[in-house]
Amino acid sequence: MSMQPKPHLTPEDYLAIERSAEFKSEYFDGEMFAMSGASQAHNLIVINTVIELGNQLKKRPCKLFANDMRVKVSPTGLYTYPDIIVVCGKAQFDDSHFDTLLNPTLIVEVSSDSTEAYDRGRKFEHYRNLESLAEYVLIAQDRPHIESYRRQPDQQWLFTESRGLESTLKLCSIDCDLALAEIYDKVEF
């Protein structure tokens, strides 16, 4: 029995398939990777964070996107769907479909046991290649804990974390605060 090799997809092939698909997939190096559904805790955290950031970003020149906005990391070729994206200034897109963002200012990922290593490691490695990215935030699903990595003028990344429901994390890149009690509202640990 011979195994058929996986076809190598171009980014154009991927986008054509993805735009008509019933589910989302990420793309890297010629391959598509189906994304799994999210847990109740994940959804609550994303919604709570969108509400908090949305309220703070009103009447400011920043746009907030959640879940369905694809990001292309042009230098590495990764196409991915961050949980939350903020773009300050004019959003730049890959093409006239306006569904693949090129210049996020802030990316937020809500990590689970199955995604934490990737979100913290290889995915962040890709994201660091985005010149526009000023801050990367990881929100834990299983405990009140948020980490921020903020790009410094020398291109190093400054790590900050907040733990416990009484804590607040300052997102310096967009001048917003995340109160952990609000982010984890109705989340059961």
DSSP secondary structure of 68-100: S-EEEETTTTEEE--SEEEEESS--BSSTT--E
pLDDT of 1 higher than 80: no
Is residue 34, in this structure, part of any structural domain at all?
A: no
Which pLDDT band, with edges at 50, 70 and 90, does 3 fall under? low
Q: How many domains does the chain have?
A: 1
Give the pLDDT confidence score for residue 67 in this predicted structure: 87
Is residue 23, in this structure, part of any structural domain at all?
A: no
CA-based angle 111:9:22, to the nearest 5?
55
pLDDT of 171 higher than 80: yes
Give which of 75, 84, 83 is closest to 126, Cα–Cα. 75
pLDDT of 37 higher than 80: no
Q: Are 108 and 137 a contacting pair, CB within 8 Å?
A: yes
Is residue 25, in this structure, part of any structural domain at all?
A: no
pLDDT of 75 higher than 90: yes
Cβ within 8 Å of residue 157, ≥6 positions away: 128, 136, 149, 150, 151
Instruction: Measure the CA–CA gap between 130 and 105, rounded to whole angstroms.
Output: 9
Q: Which long-range contacts (CB under 8 A, 24 or more apart) does 114-117 make?
A: 114/36, 116/140
Which pLDDT band, with edges at 50, 70 and 90, does 2 fall under? low
Is residue 27, in this structure, part of any structural domain at all?
A: no
CATH of the domain at 81: 3.90.1570.10
Quote the domain boundaries for residue 57: 39-183
Is residue 19, in this structure, part of any structural domain at all?
A: no
Mean pLDDT taken over the chain = 94
The pair phi, psi for residue 106, each rounded to 5°, is: -135, 135
Give the pLDDT confidence score for residue 44 in this predicted structure: 97
Is residue 145, in this structure, part of any structural domain at all?
A: yes
Instruction: Measure the CA–CA gap between 51 and 182, rounded to whole angstroms.
Output: 9
Give the pLDDT confidence score for residue 89 in this predicted structure: 94
Kindly give the residue spans of alpha helices, DSSP state H, lying in 80-173.
Answer: 116-120, 122-127
Give the pLDDT confidence score for residue 114 in this predicted structure: 86
Which pLDDT band, with edges at 50, 70 and 90, does 5 fall under? low
What sign has the CA pseudo-torsion 133, 166, 66, 31? positive
Is residue 126, in this structure, part of any structural domain at all?
A: yes
Give the pLDDT confidence score for residue 152 in this predicted structure: 96
Residues of the chain with pLDDT > 90, as a percent, come to 88
Is residue 58, in this structure, part of any structural domain at all?
A: yes
pLDDT of 64 higher than 90: yes
Q: How far, CA to CA in Å, does 11 sit from each of 94, 155, 168?
A: 11, 28, 40
